[in-house]
Amino acid sequence: MADDCARHAGRLLPHLSTEQTAYDMDAIRAALGEPRASYLGVSYGSYLGAAYTALFPHRVGRMVLDSVVGPGNWYDFDVLQSRALLRQRDTFFAWAAGRHGLGGTPAEVCASYLRVRAGPAARPVAGFGPAEFDRAVYRALGRTERCTPLADGLRGYLTGGGVETLRPAGAFDSPESRNYEAANRIVKCADGPPPGRRDVVTDLRRTRHLDPRPVLTGMEASVCAFWHHRPAHRTPLGSPQAPPVLLVASAHDPVTPVEGARSLQRLLPGSRLVVLDGDHSHGVFASRGNACVDDAVAAYPVDGAVPTAEVRCPVPGLPRPE
């Protein structure tokens, strides 16, 4: 993939970083005649917002960063995410035990899961093989409301439904999907120094030691070990000169673990954190239907009200997938 990107987009690669996009954001602000940029960024959008605060701290308006990536190296983030996904998959196994016909215990659900995965691995059908299965699981583990469709799909496959029971809406091999996958890796590799090739192999082995069949589809930055354009520096993130920034996180988000928000908070000293306790999903504000979160967050862009301390919002009922 690195060779392909160098061949087809080599001259553009140095200009496709988050830092360059932050400059574009400021050009939009200037074109609109706004003295400051108010902004809501979710997931990668939080990383982009953090880059904007580093470059233009005095032009930051009311900024909300939800499901925060964190300020570390992209490859280190990917490794952290891969471990969090293993924990989330265990949570799924525990939740599915005794329902959906997958087994009465987490171990039995895990065995059912592995039987399903072995099917596409042995006999890929219509472009759906083990990699596509892992990507479907990766997608499902990021939102608790997708747990039921995943469990139903696993049961459907085991009862003769075929791979179509496992395929989520939207083809993995669509032009849009391919463009997104390529752009994701290009930007990550443009944002900072790559990992060493030995580091990638070592981390894969460590993750496989935790589980021989881990969910690794989020480790896009591993391709950066083979990248042709080496960034001169890391994309700067955060600034003590920026006004207060509101950070939002789910306590058990496997895609952007809450540690990222706490790390970025140290680079934005005036920032405040809103945490949805007991939740396992990626994307919180105006997404989880939690009035505590939504009211606390909306008060900042609407009224400029910054919480005086960290806000912790409960989830009614047990902290488990729906």
pLDDT digits (tens, 9 = 90+) for 265-291: 999 999 999 999 999 999 999 999 999
* Side-chain-side CA neighbours of residue 124 (13 Å): 9
* Side-chain-side CA neighbours of residue 113 (13 Å): 23
Spell out the SS3 assignment of 85-101. HHHHHHHHHHHHCCCCC
Could you tell me the two tokens for 158? 């085991």
pLDDT digits (tens, 9 = 90+) for 197-239: 999 999 999 999 999 888 888 899 999 999 988 888 899 999 9
Catalytic residue among 43, 112, 222, 239: 43
Known active-site residue 43: yes
pLDDT digits (tens, 9 = 90+) for 38-58: 999 999 999 999 999 999 999
Per-residue confidence (pLDDT) for residue 14, from 0 to 100:
82
Given strand 245-250, what is the order of strands in its sheet? Answer: 37-42, 60-66, 245-250, 272-276, 311-313
pLDDT band, very low/low/confident/very high, at 318 (cuts 50, 70, 90): very low
Please state, in angstroms and rounded to a whole number, the distance separating the CA atoms of residues 116 and 130: 10
82: closest CA among 261, 264, 211, 251?
211
Per-residue confidence (pLDDT) for residue 319, from 0 to 100:
41
pLDDT greater than 80 at residue 312: yes
Q: Give the percent of the chain with pLDDT over 90.
A: 78
Q: What is the DSSP letter of 224?
A: G
Per-residue confidence (pLDDT) for residue 317, from 0 to 100:
55
Neighbours of 12 (CB within 10 A): 12
Please state, in angstroms and rounded to a whole number, the distance separating the CA atoms of residues 195 and 197: 6
Catalytic residue among 67, 253, 280, 281: 253
Average pLDDT taken over every residue of the chain = 92
pLDDT band, very low/low/confident/very high, at 321 (cuts 50, 70, 90): very low
pLDDT band, very low/low/confident/very high, at 172 (cuts 50, 70, 90): low
Catalytic residue among 78, 134, 282, 287: 282
**Cα four-point dihedral sign 86, 88, 94, 99:** negative
pLDDT band, very low/low/confident/very high, at 107 (cuts 50, 70, 90): very high
Q: Where are the beta strands (DSSP E) in the chain?
A: 37-42, 60-66, 245-250, 272-276, 311-313
Known active-site residue 17: no
pLDDT band, very low/low/confident/very high, at 170 (cuts 50, 70, 90): low
171: closest CA among 129, 132, 113, 142?
132
Known active-site residue 239: no
Containing 7, the helix (H) or strand (E) segment is helix 2-9
